[in-house]
A and B are shown apart, each in its own frame.
Chain A
């Protein structure tokens, strides 16, 4: 498997705090790769380290075939780390002109095209000091993409955007991966968004990767069988520890291959089955389980879990 990023034992400490704790991670070329984790999990530290903004305390990382800071490799990358900030006296077009000059090889036509693609064509000649957070995000994405990189790191690209903006950004990210062959590494607080747009994800906690894999595989492992049955008590008795009540139904954590045997056992026990269907775990469930979030934390985070 060809990788764009390979880290081995990557460590970054701030005083006594280990932001990255011997991180081993391989990110394959192609597709959209999600990086999730609670606040302080080490996600932003990883990005900053990969981009050469901060120096690792230990370990090593290969990025686009070069070591961290390798100029040739860096020029093939684009990035937006958290909400971008820009010199306030510049207009959106001037920001891209300035960054394009620093990189070299970016034409005014390219700049106009990217401003249009991120929805800032009408605001192109407005100073950025008056921009909303969502507009700054759009400009940051344009700045990350305008040099046509092979690898793009986007940290919270939809933060502060309205729903149509989020949808547009999601489509843009998928289009980059599917049509332009760009590898996109994406961190987001919006787990539903990650599930929709990412092919693979890594979940971080305390500076380490605690689980990694294809989104479809991770969510499939949490599948459960939902049974609308009567009487509930008898069904629970048959299924034992593997079942729990969900309203007026029973949810059974079993493998798909066990389905016929479970149905047969319930029928033989005199349980009437009105409906049986598989329900999939979503990424949020996986995230909550893997990071150990439960109860009040999970309830409060439902919908927009904190993936820092």
Chain B
């Protein structure tokens, strides 16, 4: 049963402290430490740096709105750094049984699709936990900023901001899941942990920058094919739809449908491909 596969996979991941550290804790903890060091350095050298730092760093004494900070974090957290570290855990789950030659221990205990879907469910759970951890890290960073710069703390989220927060978090998480599924396909087809890590990472990093490159070349998402072939562009379309305002001014027709279709296709196609491939795969070295 699928539930048995999920229980087994989640149990094994829960015992893999190395994978959990890199996937869940490294980015928020290191991010927090770097932020704290930056804030303290800026505070110590406040006089020297006066007027030289970009205002968006918020190194001033105005009240700090944690709600607005959370929305800003949700809009940006699905970046290549977070992706890389989440992929460490995902690749370990997806390719571990090839690496340790443990498929021969598990395939007699459950159906192959269940075993693979068990991994997918656990990794999706891992991405949710990583998303929450990164957002908590950003909140902690803002708290440190408030303490260092002696800024008053406020928390206000309007209905629209709450909706933005929810949708942006969902989009960022969906973007990570999309690349994680590429990692699944790479793991199953190559049986390699490195491929499971680097294939989605390279594609992911490329997709973060490709939309800007395409825009500079005059390629726009007016048609259906471009956002379908470039998930980064699909994600940017969705972000613009969510944020509205000036960002939505230049949106092409049916931007929402194009964005959703692009992201969903890039998520489901690797998943289905991996399951089909895995069903027919020889799982033993000769």
Which of A53, A71, A87, A143 interacts with B103 by CB under 8 Å? A53
- Answer whether residue B69 sits at the interface, using C-beta atoms and an 8 A cutoff: no
Tell whether A51 pairs with B107 under 8 Å between CB atoms, given A89-B17, A98-B12, A104-B4. Answer: yes
Which of B96, B109, B110, B286 interacts with A87 by CB under 8 Å? B96
Which residues of the other chain, A, contact B7 by a CB distance below 8 angstroms? 101-102
Which partner residue on chain B sits nearest A100 by CB separation? B8
Which partner residue on chain A sits nearest B96 by CB separation? A87
**B102 and A101 contacting across the interface, CB-CB below 8 Å:** no
Which of B8, B15, B111, B284 interacts with A89 by CB under 8 Å? B15
Number of interface residues of B (CB under 8 A): 30
Q: What per-residue 1/0 map shows which CB atoms of B91-112 lie under 8 Å from chain A?
A: 0000010001111111111110
- Answer whether residue A205 sits at the interface, using C-beta atoms and an 8 A cutoff: no
Which residues of the other chain, A, contact B18 by a CB distance below 8 angstroms? 89
- Answer whether residue B52 sits at the interface, using C-beta atoms and an 8 A cutoff: no
Complexed CA–CA distance, A19 and B284 (Å): 14
- Answer whether residue A277 sits at the interface, using C-beta atoms and an 8 A cutoff: no
From A53, A54, A98, residue with most partner B Cβ within 10 Å: A98
Tell whether A103 pairs with B104 under 8 Å between CB atoms, given A53-B284, A89-B18, A90-B12. Answer: no
**B15 and A94 contacting across the interface, CB-CB below 8 Å:** yes
Tell whether A75 pairs with B104 under 8 Å between CB atoms, given A89-B17, A89-B18, A94-B15. Answer: no
**A54 and B102 contacting across the interface, CB-CB below 8 Å:** no
Considering only residues 95-148 of chain B, those with a C-beta below 8 Å from chain A are: 96, 100-111, 115
**B8 and A99 contacting across the interface, CB-CB below 8 Å:** yes
**A99 and B109 contacting across the interface, CB-CB below 8 Å:** yes
Which partner residue on chain A sits nearest B5 by CB separation? A102
Considering only residues 1-57 of chain B, those with a C-beta below 8 Å from chain A are: 1, 4-5, 7-8, 11-12, 15-18
**A98 and B8 contacting across the interface, CB-CB below 8 Å:** yes
Q: What per-residue 1/0 map shows which CB atoms of A67-111 lie under 8 Å from chain B?
A: 000010011011101001111111000100111011110000000
Which residues of the other chain, B, contact A102 by a CB distance below 8 angstroms? 4-5, 7-8, 106, 109-110, 115
Tell whether A53 pairs with B283 under 8 Å between CB atoms, given A79-B104, A101-B11, A104-B1. Answer: yes
Complexed CA–CA distance, A304 and B4 (Å): 42
Complexed CA–CA distance, A89 and B17 (Å): 8
**B106 and A87 contacting across the interface, CB-CB below 8 Å:** no
- Answer whether residue B282 sits at the interface, using C-beta atoms and an 8 A cutoff: yes
Which residues of the other chain, B, contact A51 by a CB distance below 8 angstroms? 104, 107-108
Which residues of the other chain, A, contact B1 by a CB distance below 8 angstroms? 104
Instruction: For residue B106, give the distance in angstroms from its CB to the closest CB of chain A.
Output: 5
Which of A14, A55, A88 interacts with B280 by CB under 8 Å? A55
Which residues of the other chain, B, contact A54 by a CB distance below 8 angstroms? 282-284, 286
From B15, B105, B282, residue with most partner A Cβ within 10 Å: B105
Instruction: For residue B214, give the distance in angstroms from its CB to the closest CB of chain A.
Output: 42
Which residues of the other chain, B, contact A75 by a CB distance below 8 angstroms? 108-109
- Answer whether residue A48 sits at the interface, using C-beta atoms and an 8 A cutoff: yes
**A101 and B283 contacting across the interface, CB-CB below 8 Å:** no
Complexed CA–CA distance, A84 and B100 (Å): 9
- Answer whether residue A45 sits at the interface, using C-beta atoms and an 8 A cutoff: yes
What are 5 A-B pairs at a CB distance below 8 A? A19-B286, A74-B108, A87-B96, A89-B16, A147-B109
The 5 closest A-B pairs by CB, nearest first: A102-B8, A103-B109, A101-B8, A53-B284, A104-B4
Q: Can you name 4 extra interface pairs (CB under 8 A) apart from A75-B109, A102-B5?
A: A85-B102, A87-B12, A98-B11, A147-B109
